[in-house]
Amino acid sequence: MVDLTTVKTSNTNLPSHLTAVFVGGTSGIGLYTLLALARHCAHPTIYFIGRSQPAADRILTDLRTLNPNGTYKFIPSDVALIKNVDAVCEEIKRDEKYINILVQSQGTMSTGQETAENMHATASLVLHSRMRFQLNLLPLLQAAPGLKRVVSIFTGTKEGPITATELQMRSLRNPLKARGQAASAVTLLLEEAQRRAKDVGFVHTYPGFVSTGIGRDFGMVARMVAKVAETVVRPWLYVPEEESGERNLWLATSGRFAAEEGDKGVDAAVGTDGKVGSGVYTVDEKGESGGEAVLKVLQELREQKKDEWVWDEIRKELVRITGKESL
């Protein structure tokens, strides 16, 4: 476990100017991370994306109090739609020459919702939408002075075998199996992005249990059960909101998760290929890299060429929807 003091010490020594994009910054872990950045960076420029304008209005008010020296911009968008992802990225590219940090936490626990682009929203948000953002914004990340980092908040270190024949996973009823496959796909897609940008660091993290808005799409009974469980187990199991924000900010800024090329921290973490400082990291709620079992799952997937298959499945959908050949 990387202790909270280490995390906080690192966070209090951030560069004075950082530009960051938070997709899913209107609620939950993305929001806690965004607030941590506004607390610790003297002059942050922060873009955040989500659908809820009322949530964004409250957050903008809080941010201006928290750090009046920051520049804050909310872009309202339903990013389960790939065409909207492209529009959001165009808007950011119009205004910024570079970004240092891309944090993605868009997701939903509800299943069965189809988007107007014929996608399963649950899968689209975690896989297609996130891959589109990270590829579209790679040039801005590569143009950044100093820190260049992508963080995907989902289920790092929970990687499992991929048995599904399609990545929308509409028919996968066993949530644990679905999680293992989706986790692997997220990590393999970060590796795919890294092949295009060795000077950017990539982190897939599992945030632990965190009290957020993620249960809002459940039925009322399930919500009540979750609420009771949370109240009872909270002190033992739950990562407090502020700590969650600090830990994810650390993943987004610490030299431990350095890019393959460029300055290496003295204590770089082990990457997804088992090598120290190799640029793509799958990390648990304690800040530790996935161990041997996780690396073995990933290695087997690469040997089965599942990495190529995953990217191919995603690319086909991106091309179908946008009509543009994908990067």
Ligand X SMILES: *[C@@H]1O[C@H](CO)[C@@H](O)[C@H](O)[C@H]1NC(C)=O
Q: 114: which residues sit within 8 A by CB, 6+ positions away?
A: 120, 121
- Residue 239 phi/psi, 5-degree rounding, is -85, 120
- CB 170, CB 120: distance < 8 Å: yes
Taking the least distance from each CB to ligand NAP, the nearer of 50 and 271 is 50
> Can you name the residues that pair with 196 across neighbouring β-strands?
none
Which one of ligand X, ligand NAP, none is in contact with 68 (Cβ closer than 5 to 8 A by kind)? ligand X
What's the closest the beta carbon of residue 26 comes to ligand X, in angstroms?
24
Taking the least distance from each CB to ligand X, the nearer of 68 and 323 is 68
Half-sphere exposure of 86 (CA within 13 A, CB side): 11
Distance of CA 149 to the CA centre of its chain: 11
- Pick left, alpha or beta for residue 226 (phi over 0 → left; psi -120 to 50 → alpha; otherwise beta): alpha
Return the closest-CA partner of residue 281 out of 266, 271, 267: 271
For 307, the enclosing helix (H) or strand (E) is helix 306-322
Per CB under 6 A, does 210 bind ligand NAP? yes
Taking the least distance from each CB to ligand X, the nearer of 45 and 115 is 45
What's the closest the beta carbon of residue 143 comes to ligand NAP, in angstroms?
25
Per CB under 6 A, does 50 bind ligand NAP? yes
The residue sitting closest to ligand NAP, measured at its beta carbon, is 28
Among 92, 125, 249, 280, binds ligand NAP (CB under 6 A): 125
Q: Which stretch binds ligand NAP (CB under 6 A): 45-53, 94-102, 142-150, 248-256?
A: 45-53
Among 156, 160, 201, 207, binds ligand NAP (CB under 6 A): 207
C-alpha–C-alpha distance, residues 80 and 76, integer Å: 12
C-alpha–C-alpha distance, residues 251 and 30, integer Å: 12
What's the closest the beta carbon of residue 68 comes to ligand X, in angstroms?
5
C-alpha–C-alpha distance, residues 285 and 289, integer Å: 10
Per CB under 6 A, does 26 bind ligand NAP? yes
Q: Which stretch binds ligand NAP (CB under 6 A): 5-13, 132-140, 208-216, 299-307?
A: 208-216
Which one of ligand NAP, ligand X, none is in contact with 51 (Cβ closer than 5 to 8 A by kind)? ligand NAP
Dihedral angle at the C-alpha atoms of 147, 214, 1, 297, nearest 10 degrees?
-80
C-alpha–C-alpha distance, residues 140 and 136, integer Å: 8
Give the length of the chain.
327
Which one of ligand X, ligand NAP, none is in contact with 28 (Cβ closer than 5 to 8 A by kind)? ligand NAP
- Residue 254 phi/psi, 5-degree rounding, is -70, 145
Taking the least distance from each CB to ligand X, the nearer of 54 and 68 is 68
What's the closest the beta carbon of residue 19 comes to ligand X, in angstroms?
17
What's the closest the beta carbon of residue 246 comes to ligand NAP, in angstroms?
15
Per CB under 6 A, does 111 bind ligand NAP? no
Among 44, 107, 271, 290, binds ligand NAP (CB under 6 A): 107
Which tokens is 9 given?
A: 């010490």
CA angle 256, 290, 270 (to 5 degrees): 35
Per CB under 6 A, does 153 bind ligand NAP? yes
Distances from the Cα of 18 to the Cα of 34, 44, 176, angstroms: 12, 5, 37
Per CB under 6 A, does 105 bind ligand NAP? yes
What's the closest the beta carbon of residue 241 comes to ligand NAP, in angstroms?
10
Per CB under 6 A, does 80 bind ligand NAP? yes
In the complex, the residues that contact ligand X under the rule CB under 6 A are: 68-69
Which one of ligand X, ligand NAP, none is in contact with 69 (Cβ closer than 5 to 8 A by kind)? ligand X
